[in-house]
Chains A and B, each alone.
Chain A
Amino acid sequence: MTAPGVAERLTSLVGALRAHGMRIGTGETVDAAHAVDALGLADREALREGLAATLLHSQVQRPVFDPVFDLYFPASVGGPRTAPADRDELRDRLAAALADDDTALLGRLAAEAVDGFGAYGSPSGADGWSSYQTLDRLRPQTLFARVRDDVRARGGGAGFDGRLVGDEVRRRIAHFRALVATEARRRVAERRDRDEIARRAVAPTPDRVDFLYAGKAQLAELRRTVQPLARKLATRLAARRRRAARGSIDLRRTLRASLSTGGVPVRPVLRRRRPVRPELVLLCDVSGSVSGFSDFTMLLVQALHDQFSKVRVFAFVNRVDEVTGLLVRGAADPEGLGARIDAEAALTSHHGSSDYGAALGEFALRYGGAVGPRTTVFVLGDARTNHGDPNLPALREITGRARRVHWLNPEPRDLWGTGDSVAPDYAAIAEMRECRNARQLGALVSRLLPV
C-alpha cells in the first residue's frame, strides 16, 4: 500500500497542477496512486515519469509539471551536508564538472551553490533562497571560456567536433542555471507553504532571458514579443519627438511676435524643428551565440522602420553584406530570418569566426556612403575578435562621419576585456552599453534612438 503521507502529497501535487490550469480528473488521480504503488518511492526519476504518464495528456504540460513535481517529491531535505562553500573553490569545481559534463555532480554543486550564496535574511535563509542571487554571485557564465579551453586542451575538441565545443559548453551552463533555480525553489518550499510556491514558481518571463544563453524555444518565444514591444516603443518615441519638437525658444520670432504687445515678449515662440526623420544604420555581428541577440534586434528595428526616414541593416561575420532587403521580407517569417541571412548574404570568407577588424574595415570602405551627419549607427556584438586586429581606425572613421554611434554588447560588463574581447578599446571610441536581455534592449532603444 501507499506509504503514509504519500497520498496527501499526491493530492496536493494534483491540486497544484490544477491551479496551473491542468484538467486532471479523479480517474487520473487514481491511476497515479496505482503508479506510485507499482513503482515505489525509491527511484525518483521513475516516479516522475510514472506520474507524468498518468497525469499529463500532452507534452506542453511538461514544463509546468517538472518544477511542481520537484517541490512535492524533493530529491533531498535540507541543505547539503558540506562545509560552507568558498566562491573561488566552488567555481573551480564547477568548471571541472562542466568540462566533464558530469550531470550528477552538477546537481550537487547546484545544491552547494544555493546553500552558500542564495540565502538572504538572518539567520541564513530565514527570509528565503534566491537563485538570482546565487547565480549573480557565482556567475557560472563567466566560466565559459575557461571550460571551453579546458575541454579543447584535453583533446575533447580535436578534429572536426572542436567547433561544437562552444555551443555544448553553453548548453551545459544553461542546464546548471536551471538546476540552481530548481534547488532554490525547493529550499524556499521547505520554509514556506509548498502549495503557495507551486502556484507562484514560474519561469522568468522571456524579456528577462539572457540573449547569450537563450535556447531555441526561448528565442522563439522572444520573437513573439517583437510586435508588442515595437508598439510600446513607437508610442514612447512619439512622445519624445513631441517634446523635442517643442524645443528651444526662437528669439527672433519671439521678438517679432512681441511687437503686437508693445515689445513685451508675453508669449515665447518656440523653434520648430524640421520634420525630417532621422536615419538609422545597424551593423550586426550574426555569428554563433550573438546571433540570437542580433536577430531579435534586427526584427525590432524593422518593426519600427516607419519611425525613420531610412533604415539600412548590415550583417557581418568576417565580411559585411547589406541585408536590409532580407529583413523587409523577414517581417513575414521571423523564424527564417537567420537562415536567410546565412544562406543569401556573403558574410564569411575563408573561415567562420567573427573578425571585427576586417568587418569594420570593409564597412567603412564599401558602405561609408551609408553614414552621414543625420545617421545614427548601432553596432551589435560582443567585440570578441578571436585575437584578430580590432582595426580601431575603421571604427574611428565611422564615428567621425555619423551623428552618433552606439555599441550594444550582449555580454555582461564584467566580461568585457576578458579573453579575446576588445570591448574596452572599442568603448573608448564609441559609446558601449551592456544589453543582455529584451528588457534592457527596450529601455536602451527608447532612450537612444534618435527622434
Chain B
Amino acid sequence: MLFHSVDDVSARLAGTGYLASRAVATTVFLADRLGKPLLVEGPAGVGKTELAKAVAEVAGARLVRLQCYEGVDESRALYEWNHAKQLLRISAGRDETWDEARTDIFGEEFLLPRPLLTAIRGDDPKVLLIDETDKADVEVEGLLLEVLSDFQVTVPELGTVTATRRPFVVLTSNASRELSEALRRRCLFLHIGFPDEELERAIVRLKVPDLDAALTASVVRVVGALRAMELRKVPSVAETVDWARTLLALGAGTLDETVVKDTLGVLLKHQDDVLRASAKLDLDAV
C-alpha cells in the first residue's frame, strides 16, 4: 500500500510539484487500495501524464511508459525476439544440433521486453503508464485487457510470466475514440477537468513563483473567462503556466489591453479564437 489516506496522497503528490484536486487525490488513493488500474480522461494539458509521473516519484517506483499511437502492436507493447542477435547466435554455433540452438535462442538473453512485459516482471515497484490509449487500434485493447485482468503474460517459448508485484497502472485518454466498455470496467474512472481558480492559482504559484501574486490572480481570471467563451480550443493548465512565464519574461507588472493582445497567442492557437476573444475582452481599442 502506497498511501494511508487521501490527505496523504495530496501532501505527497504536492511534494513532487503535482497539485491534486480532491477528486484526483481520492481516486489515486482508491486505485492503490483496490489494486485497480486508473483510467484518466480529460482535455489536453490538464496533467494526466504528469499525474502518473508524480505517483511514480512518490512511490519510489520506476515509471514504465507505453506511448500509444496508431499502429502500435504486440511487438512494440509486449515483447519481441531479437532476430538479429538470434541469427548471429545460430551462425556462431555451427556444430550444434538445431534442438540445442533453439532452446538457447529463445532464452532470456534474446528477449526484448516491451513496456507491458517489463511492468509485470521483477520485484521492484513500478508505475505502468499507458499514455494516450485512445490513439491505439482496437486490437491493442484486447491485449491490454488480457494483461490488466490477470497481470500475466504468456510467451509461448518461455512459459507464463506472472507479476509477483503488481504495478500501479495509469491509462490516459483524450477520448478521441471511445474505449471499449470491457476495458473501462477493468478500471477506476477519473475525469480531470480544468482546475478551480484556487487550485490553478496554486499551480501557477508553484511553477512560476516569481510572478507577482496579484498578476497571478489576474492571469487565472482571464483564463477562466476564455474557458467560458465558445472557442475552438480553450486554454488548458499548460497554457496558463506558459502565459504566466511569458508575462514574467516580459516583465509585465499588471495586465492591460496591450500586454494581453500581444500575448494572447500563447493561450489561443487558432486565429479565429484570437479574434473572438479579442472582441469579447474588448481589446480592439488598441
Contact = CB atoms under 8 A, between A and B. Distances in A.
Interface string B206-248: 0000000000001001101100111100000000000000000
Interface centre among A28, A62, A352 (most CB of B within 10 A): A352
B85 interface: no
B255 interface: yes
A348 B276 CA distance: 13
A196 interface: no
Interface stretch (A298-306, A335-343, A398-406): A335-343
Interface in B114-142: none
A159 B255 contact: yes
Interface stretch (B26-34, B51-59, B61-69): B26-34
B280 A25 contact: no
Contacts of B225: 164, 167-168
A161 B284 contact: no
Contact of A53 (B26, B181, B230, B257): B26
A39 B28 CA distance: 12
A163 B27 contact: no
A243 interface: no
B145 interface: no
9 contacts: A31-B34, A31-B188, A38-B30, A45-B22, A49-B27, A54-B30, A160-B222, A160-B254, A335-B230
Interface of A: prevailing SS? helix
B282 interface: yes
A19 interface: no
B30 A59 contact: no
Contacts of A353: 282
Interface of B: 6, 22-23, 26-27, 29-31, 33-34, 36, 41, 178, 181, 184-185, 188-191, 218, 221-222, 224-225, 228-231, 254-257, 260, 272-273, 275-276, 279-282, 284-285
Contacts of B33: 34, 38
Nearest to A55: B189
Contacts of A366: none
Contacts of A57: 181, 184-185, 189
A49 B24 CA distance: 8
A52 interface: yes
A154 interface: no
Interface string A12-32: 000000000001010110010
Contacts of A161: 218, 221-222, 255
Nearest to A25: B185
Contact of B6 (A46, A216, A338): A46
Interface string A335-363: 11011101100011011110000000000
A59 B26 CA distance: 17
Contact of B184 (A52, A58, A168): A58
Closest 9 CB pairs of A and B: A352-B282, A160-B255, A342-B279, A343-B275, A57-B184, A49-B26, A59-B191, A339-B276, A49-B23
Contact of B27 (A34, A53, A336): A53
A319 to B, nearest CB: 11
Contacts of A43: 6
Interface string A161-179: 1011001100100000000
